[in-house]
Structure 1
Amino acid sequence: MTRWLTEPVPRGRVAAFRTLIYLFVAADLVLFTPWVRTRVAVPGELYQPLLIGRLLPLPTPTPAVVGVIFWALLLLALLAATGRAPRLLGWAVFALYFEWMIVAMSYGKVDHDRFGLLVALAVLPTAGRARHGDPTRTEAGGWALRVTQIAVVCTYFLAAWAKLRFGGLDWLTGSVLARAIIRRGTELADVIASVPYLLIVAQFGIVAFELASPAIFLLRKRWRLYTVGFFYSFHLVTFATITISFAPHLAAMTSFLPLERVRPLVWARRLAGRGRGPADDGPVDGAAPSAPPAPLRGGPAVAEPEPAGQ
């Protein structure tokens, strides 16, 4: 079990995952959860903190508190995405984002799509330093990615457990998806809803998929990647039909992917190099100048100029 939990991964993968997660945190503040800042307009007595918020001496949200969290978190997340001071910046980002989520989820609605992201933020500081493109393998980084993967799979499995715990078997045969389509469905969802019994079949399929999700750890690497692709396609269909994105969960799920192969800066340099003309290319540093091209077969030989004075 210890070998599985700490299976070494390239440091380049850890660096890429770290950059992606911290950039997502910055994007989350301005794109997905800017509404958290509006909580300060709600009377303080409506603030009912989660259990962790009751155990810790956290302040009631005010304009000053939420404003400080927002700007500090935005700045630190961008700095952490560079990979510098991974422990100091990593723990600071985790603490601030954790408080940001407590504020967001303490007014009656708790989203479960952020569990994997929070776990990723909690374990990334333990991975240590990592540079993009570094093939050296690290057990600490492997542990951080593995724990995030477990959190992602638990999100699916525990979602199915909650459905059966609170809804029972009636969740499978009820009108859960039908109500979701009525509330926030798209035109594609209307087409699907018109097919008899298809929504009931989909509800059985969703629960079966979520209950079977831990089996991904038993698959070989290639089939595991195919399964992750299926997970992403499931969320694509979900967004296309009832406009639920699960963006934080999708960001955490990249812990399954060989992110070290994705190097946008290298690709940009290659594309820029292809766009340059042959006259723009100078000799490589330290390389000998190339010899003149040989004459074409059957063509006239080019006479070399004689040295001066002869």
Structure 2
Amino acid sequence: MSAHTNPEGGTAATGGTTARRPWPRRAAGAVAGWLAPEVPLARVAAFRILIYAFLVLDVTWVRASVIPHGYVPDLYQPTWLARAVHLPPFGPQVGTALLWVILLGCAAGIATTLWGRWQRTTGWVVAAAFWVWMLNSQGYGYVSHDHLALMVAVTVLPTVGAATLRDGDASQAAGWALRCVQLGVVATYVGSAVLKTLRAGTPAGWANSAVFVWAIMRRGSALVTWTLNYPWLLILGQWALLILEFLSPIVLWLRGRWLYLAVAVFVAFHAMTFAAIGIHFLPTVICWAAFLPLERLPFLARLRRAA
């Protein structure tokens, strides 16, 4: 058997063997495979139900300010994106109608996931309504960066199409949607670390500051007020947080137990901040589920075996 060089730079072997693809194509294929891995459709179906169920909680508790905003339209200062789409302030009646569109859309989204049809239609309705809801909400002051991954999730889930809890087939569309959510989760932490650095001038400038002291004095619970007597401990905590945020992209390449450990660390961190200063970050915490093999949950596995 002999080999010769093909015109594109790869090596082709005679005798029936397949020619090796040029390295740019191999690299592009590897990137595409990473961005859109094949994952079970049941995983994205379970994630879809989780997201739509959480949206109900989000619009009725976490970001429930849209309807009250209708009484003070003069305070509306739209974000760049809201200005780009010419989104005006709206009154409480419109806010109430929008709330019901989201609630009914989420219920329909869960139902269609269980049914196996109309998932794109209900998904796009929920995505559009929730984007309008959030753009209005963010026009009255604080921009919720903890919603980044959630906004990505509601946008990409309709692109997957039909997926049920019983569906064991693998899909690149499902993998791409979940990867987008994963990137949104990681971007939340990296963006936070970068913003801290920009505001303080250097990473050390923020990590050695009194941010934790200020936060605990302002809204700290009895569980952490004792740490004010040990400022060095709070400095260590700030360094740990900054390092954790900068290193968060590593989770995109972890697998198995190491991935589960990383997810547990981040979720535990948010549980600690909620217990310490009342900040929960639930929208991001929910989206960590995009890293997990939800289809392996015992009741879902039994459901597929029974199908």
- TM-score by structure 1 length? 0.82
Residue 134 of structure 1 aligns to a residue whose secondary structure is coil
Q: Distance in 1 between matches of 2:301 and 2:228?
A: 46
Distance 1:201 1:59, change over 3 A: same
Alpha-carbon shift at residue 263 of structure 1 (Å): 5.6
Q: How does 1:1-310 map to 2 (within 5 A)?
A: 1-42=31-72, 44-82=73-111, 83=113, 84-169=117-202, 170-262=205-297
Alpha-carbon shift at residue 264 of structure 1 (Å): 5.2
Instruction: Return 5+ residue gaps in structure 2 as ranges.
Output: 1-30
Give the aligned partner of residue 26 of structure 2: none
**Bigger RCO of structures 1 and 2 (CA < 8 A, at least 6 apart):** 1
Alpha-carbon shift at residue 143 of structure 1 (Å): 0.5
Write the deviation string for residues 160-188 of structure 1: whole angstroms up to 9, x where unpaired.
00000112232111111111111111111
Residue 104 of structure 1 aligns to a residue whose secondary structure is helix
Instruction: Return 5+ residue gaps in structure 1 as ranges.
Output: 269-310
Residue 110 of structure 1 aligns to a residue whose secondary structure is coil
Q: Distance in 2 between matches of 1:193 and 1:10?
A: 48
Contact 2:182 2:252 in 1 (8 A): no
**CA RMSD after TM alignment:** 1.7
Give the aligned partner of residue 24 of structure 2: none
Alpha-carbon shift at residue 134 of structure 1 (Å): 2.1
Distance 1:146 1:162, change over 3 A: same
Alpha-carbon shift at residue 266 of structure 1 (Å): 8.1
State the 4+ residue runs in structure 1 displaced beyond 3 angstroms: 263-268
Residue 114 of structure 1 aligns to a residue whose secondary structure is helix
Which has the greater radius of gyration?
A: 1
Task: Point out the more displaced range, 248-257 or 59-68.
Answer: 59-68
Residue identity in the other structure for 2:197: L
Alpha-carbon shift at residue 35 of structure 1 (Å): 2.6
- Percent identity of equivalent pairs: 39
Distance 1:3 1:69, change over 3 A: same
Alpha-carbon shift at residue 260 of structure 1 (Å): 1.0
Residue 88 of structure 2 aligns to a residue whose secondary structure is coil
Q: How many residues align?
A: 267
Residue identity in the other structure for 1:62: G
